[in-house]
Amino acid sequence: MYGGHIGIALAGKGFKSTIPMWLLVLATQLPDWADAAVCSAGSAGTSEMWSHSLPAVAVLGLMLAIPYFASSRDIAAASLIAMIVVSHAVADYATGLKPTWPGGPHIGLELYHRPMMDFVVEGVVIVIGWMIYRRSLAPEKRQTSPVTTLLVALMLLQLAASVSFSLFPGIKKC
């Protein structure tokens, strides 16, 4: 999943507006950043196990949530951050084929092989997340240009990603 992860971060902002947006975006992307780091370190064959398996996302979620709780003393916000990290793996089970745990099966619907369906599913997640996100804004700011531009930009980026999956299938991440 690509833009859909940001949709989940937007929903997180709608539920807990005190969490900075940059932290919510980091939380929702953290397994992919871990994947890129492990890939760059040369462990291509095991990068997804270290970044996207259920034990991996649980550890990554705690790595972000515990320091946030230590600084904010907000257990609800820290729990939400951990859940958003874990949601990354759950969302990727829809679009990709990801590991579950060491020795466990790889599961997923592999929507990346059906780019139009991928765009529809991720687009729905973006729109729902954006609608929840708007609750974090004052009522008079919910119809402003930046708010609308955010939705349009995310949908265009997702369209570009889905089209690239169609035009360039099979390019390895590592």
Partner 1 sequence: MMPFALGNGVFRLVGAMILIALITVILDRRSRQ
Tell me: does residue 171 bind partner 1 (CB under 8 A).
yes
Q: Which of residues 20-39 bind partner 1 (CB under 8 A)?
A: 21-22, 25-26, 29, 32-33, 35-36, 39
Q: Give the count of residues interacting with partner 1 (CB under 8 A).
A: 37
User: By the 8 A CB rule, do 23 and 74 touch?
Assistant: no
Confirm or reject binding of residue 153 to partner 1 (CB under 8 A).
yes
The CA distance from 114 to 126, in Å, is 18
CA atoms within 13 A on the CB side of 21: 11
Where are any strands of DSSP class E within 10-123? 98-99, 106-107
Query: Phi-psi region for residue 97, left (φ > 0), alpha (ψ -120 to 50) or beta?
Result: beta
Of the ranges 59-67, 84-92, 103-111, 148-156, which one interacts with partner 1 (CB under 8 A)?
Answer: 148-156
Binding site for partner 1 (CB under 8 A): 2-3, 6, 9-10, 13, 21-22, 25-26, 29, 32-33, 35-36, 39-40, 137, 141, 144, 146-147, 149-150, 153-154, 157, 160-161, 163-164, 167-168, 171-174
